[in-house]
Structure 1
Amino acid sequence: MPEFIAPGATIGIIGGDIGAYQLARSASHIGMRVAVMAETADAVALKAADIRIVGTDRAAYARLQSVCSVITFSDEKIVDADMLDDMFSARQLPSGTDILSMTQDRYLEKVFLEDLNLNVLPYGQVVTSDDIDKVVATVGFPGILKPIQKGIGADQQLLIESDVDVWRARGLLQKRPYIYEAWLKKPRELAVTCVKTPDGLQVFPVVENQHDHHVLTATIAPAQIEDDAFMEILRIAEKVAGRIDYTGVFAIEFFYTAEGGLYVKRLSPGPRLGGDVLRGITNTTQYALHMRAIAGWPIPTIPVKGEAVLLPLQRRQMEAVATQIQIKPDWQWQFFPAGEDPVGELIVPGPLKHAFSSLAATEVFNIQ
């Protein structure tokens, strides 16, 4: 059980992205000092840190270990789980590293989900170019060939639709393991945010995420789905939470087909961008909940009310943003320090039908 951490202690955050920035702000709000360890000196999260550590080598981890009561991470792709296990005490790692073994490796994640008898898309492991034919014969067309290691860009993924693509893939394979997974054409993407502590689990409303070339463009809360799909997602959340040794916020993402097929897409430790929609339908944020959990503070029962749409804001939209700020008093705006997109977030309160029509009327912000 996480040890209670009183205000004035230092919480460490591994990651330099907007998620780490928002975690750092939430830690400050409960009276903590914040140490952020990021890959580069221009990382946005460092702007919210009291102690700034640049680098991800052993020396950087040692510095983080020496100044922090507890640590967490915003981006599992850059975390070295072996380094954490080697250098940090269990007291300093309330979230543990158990979850990283699944979320950093696509193949192990699939195995974990299958061991729980959860529905995943057909897949196979590709270690050498000779494996492709065997795996494709089993999984079929179309499929996506992805590096097993997460964090490698989407440009390293290849859609396989025919034998010609298989032949082409052999020439593109690098010396790393891959996973070949069945591909669905335009499924809906759902997600659920959960917070787990030794005292129990809270599961928040199922949301629908919309993406454009792997970039989140909108989150709709709650997702408009059938009751049986909703109940199955709750069952899956409880089953996953019961198996992982973890404290804090985590998310589970799903594919949902027009025929009602539900497939677990991935498991993610820590807050995810789409989970920011909770700010529009609850009295808290996923970052505040995560910080309370890892600091050993009790988690209240969070009331959920209303509906909302979240839109990450891009720099190219800022002229339109300035106009809408002046004429939409009910819209909720949040902006981040200058840096990469997104530059901020917009939450439009429901009812959803009204939110959709208001967004469409701008001709800039829209829902697919």
Structure 2
Amino acid sequence: MSIDPDVQTEMDRICHEIVANVKYVGVFEVDFMLNDNGSLYVKQIIPTFGEAGRIFDRATTVSQFEQHLRAIAGMPLSDIQVVKPTVMAAFTHDQANAIRTQWTLKPNWHFSFYRQGHQDLDSQKLAGHILVQGDDVNKLLEQLEDTEIWSQDSADSENN
């Protein structure tokens, strides 16, 4: 579940190139795709507050929303300091009941449930995300894996 250091280095390089060459002020999201043979592609670059940016709310001393406002107002950006190692995982409506069970068991998990109308209750749509904090990212990833919430989803889709 972790990113190969060479892939991370290449993603960082690409992002720095984008920042240096795009005439834009504010927050934007860069989505990548990595295929089975290790080729990295930029999927999209969009001016938006990405879901992945929510990790800043718990992991660092800044939020993507405040940084965006500072950028468009011409103010200096806040220095980003990591408060505590944090991992994020999104969950679907199909996974929501299992997530609610974890809510009662995991004091280091912070839950966000997205508000959606009844017409948006597609079982595969995102229903929310969790932010998990601790001292060791690998142990946090193991916590997620040990629940089998995300592996069940994969197994279910393979069986259908």
Normalising by structure 2, what TM-score?
Answer: 0.71
Name the structure 1 match of 2:33. 255
Instruction: Give 1:206-225 correspondences, 5 Å limit.
Output: 223-225=2-4
Name the structure 2 match of 1:359. 144
Q: Which of 45, 70, 79 pairs up with 1:292?
A: 70
Q: 1:255 to 1:335 in 2, by over 3 A?
A: closer
Task: Flag structure 2 segments of 5+ consecutive residues without an equivalent.
Answer: 155-160
More helix by share: 2
Distance (whole Å) between structure 2 residues aligned to residue 304 and residue 258 of structure 1:
32
Task: Flag structure 1 segments of 5+ consecutive residues without an equivalent.
Answer: 1-219
Q: Which of 326, 343, 358 pairs up with 2:127?
A: 343
Distance (whole Å) between structure 2 residues aligned to residue 347 and residue 366 of structure 1:
18
Q: In structure 1, the residue corresponding to 2:42 is in which secondary structure?
A: strand
2:17 matched to 1:239?
yes
User: What's the % identity of the aligned pairs?
Assistant: 29
More strand by share: 1
Q: 1:289 to 1:323 in 2, by over 3 A?
A: same
Q: 1:294 to 1:326 in 2, by over 3 A?
A: same
Q: 1:332 to 1:243 in 2, by over 3 A?
A: same
Aligned pairs, number: 146
Q: 1:259 to 1:278 in 2, by over 3 A?
A: same
Name the structure 1 match of 2:81. 303
Distance (whole Å) between structure 1 residues aligned to residue 38 and residue 101 of structure 2:
40
Post-superposition CA distance 1:64-93 (Å, at most 9, x none)? xxxxxxxxxxxxxxxxxxxxxxxxxxxxxx
Contact 2:62 2:78 in 1 (8 A): no
Q: 1:230 to 1:311 in 2, by over 3 A?
A: closer
Name the amino acid aligned to 1:352.
Answer: V
Q: 1:292 to 1:320 in 2, by over 3 A?
A: same
Distance (whole Å) between structure 1 residues aligned to residue 36 and residue 116 of structure 2:
40
- Between structure 1 and structure 2, the one with the greater Rg is 1
Distance (whole Å) between structure 2 residues aligned to residue 302 and residue 248 of structure 1:
16
Pairwise CA distance, 1:248: 0.4
2:100 matched to 1:326?
no
Pairwise CA distance, 1:348: 1.7
Contact 1:334 1:345 in 2 (8 A): yes
Instruction: Give 1:155-174 correspondences, 5 Å limit.
Output: none
Q: In structure 2, the residue corresponding to 1:249 is in which secondary structure?
A: coil
Post-superposition CA distance 1:195-239 (Å, at most 9, x none)? xxxxxxxxxxxxxxxxxxxxxxxxx7xx5222x433333232222
Q: In structure 1, the residue corresponding to 2:126 is in which secondary structure?
A: coil
Normalising by structure 1, what TM-score?
Answer: 0.35
Q: Which structure has the higher relative contact order (CA within 8 Å, separation 6+)? A: 2
